[in-house]
Amino acid sequence: MTPTSSTLAPRSRARVLLARLEGPQTMGRGPAFWGTAFLAVAAAAAYPLMADAWTVGNAAYFLIWTFMAMGLGVVWGYAGALSFGQTAFFGFAGYAYGVLTLNLGAAYGLTFVALALSVAFGGLFALVIGYFMFYGRIQGVFIGIVTLSVTLVLETFMAQTAGPQWRIGEARLNGFNGMSGMPPLTLPWFGGDILLYPGPSLYYLLLGLVVVCYLGLRIMLNSRFGNVLVAIRENPHRVGMLGYDVRLYQMLAFGIGGAFAALSGALYTAWGQYITPSSMGLTSAALPIVWVAVGGRRDITATLIGTLVVLAGFQSLTIYGSQYALVVMGTLLLLTVLAAPEGLVVGAMKLLGRVFQRSKR
């Protein structure tokens, strides 16, 4: 009995997707890389068994920001558009999650519905901004100016919503003090709902999301879509001459990056059960740029690793004062731009690759 085409097609599609985990647009391939990645995930999964609940909740906080960083990596590193608007989509989705959950409640898994809707709203908001930017022929440094303006306008608007008239159903926006009291992610279960407070349960959910999103981005970036994005970054005029709609690809990349930032925002609101306009301030808008630049904006693996390392260092420095942490972050960005423009993690990965190749000879 021979297999039919209907059974072969899903298998062939699966093989194509798995093959795209390795490709020209992402570093890392072969048993050594994937073995190391598996050990890293296994160590991360075992981490809650060796740490207290507060430390695990803090680690979950680090994981939340990786989605925003990976989204910025797609927009800036692969599509070549420097955006300061990630925190606008972050805050937009955070407020959307708060409004939805305060009105819908947490029963029957509605918090996950609110999470999905918040990400969709954030991604749609990014698509609208991207449409007006790219189809309006805005390029280069002006993309950064427009996205930063959107972020600051949104922050200023939300900061002045303090009066009782600024409410959506049961949810009050509360101006500069922000929204609070929204429920955490709640998983319906037999015998009672499971509240995913900062701790092992939320940590494992976030870890799983990071792995899925990372692998999904590797597949996307090594597809034709990712190849076109890189070509646009290198020479948009040539890509247009080949028949591709450059503005459409840039807008879609911007929307994907906005959706990832929105995922961070909704998860952050569920994690801390609050959201304030300061999450969209100038400092907040600049920090993702530092994370992605230090790690390496042109490789999603370097972006992920660099973000986690810089976040851990930033939090350690805040013990001595947030102003010192910001000075160090600024200095680190300056040194990276001058000495290692590809990113410190990318440089380290290339060095390890050369050492590994020499050891095989």
Residues 287 and 187 in one domain: no
Domain of residue 351 covers 281-361
Percentage, residues of the chain above pLDDT 90? 61
Report the chain's mean pLDDT, rounded to a whole number.
Answer: 89
Which of residues 231, 247, 280 is at a domain's end? 280
Q: What is the pLDDT of residue 89?
A: 97
| 95 and 163 together in one domain | yes
Tell me, yes or no, whether 318 lies in a domain. yes
Query: What is the predicted pLDDT for the residue at 120?
Result: 97
What's the number of domains the chain is made of? 2
Q: What angle do CA 212, 214, 220 make, to 5 degrees?
A: 100
Asked whether the predicted pLDDT for residue 7 surpasses 70, the reply is: no
pLDDT tens, 108-167?
889 999 999 999 999 999 999 999 999 999 998 999 999 999 999 999 999 999 888 999
User: 334: which residues sit within 8 A by CB, 6+ positions away?
Assistant: none
Highest mean pLDDT among 197-211, 331-345, 347-361: 197-211
Of the residues 217, 249, 280, which one is the last residue of a structural domain? 280
pLDDT tens digits along 43-95:
999 999 999 888 898 899 999 999 999 999 999 999 999 999 999 999 999 99
Answer yes or no: do 128 and 253 share one domain: yes
Check if the beta carbon of residue 130 is closer than 8 Å to that of residue 251: yes
Paired with 167 in beta bridges are 172
Q: What is the rounded distance in angstroms from the CA atom of residue 55 to the CA atom of residue 77?
A: 32
Residue 17 lies in a domain: no
Phi, psi of 186 (to 5 degrees): -125, 120
Spacing of C-alpha 105 from chain mean position: 26
| Mean of pLDDT values over 267-286 | 91
Q: Which of 263, 280, 297 is the last residue of a domain?
A: 280
Q: How confident is the model at residue 205 (pLDDT cuts 50, 70, 90)?
A: very high
Same domain, 186 and 289: no
pLDDT at 339 over 90: no
Does 45 fall in a domain?
A: no
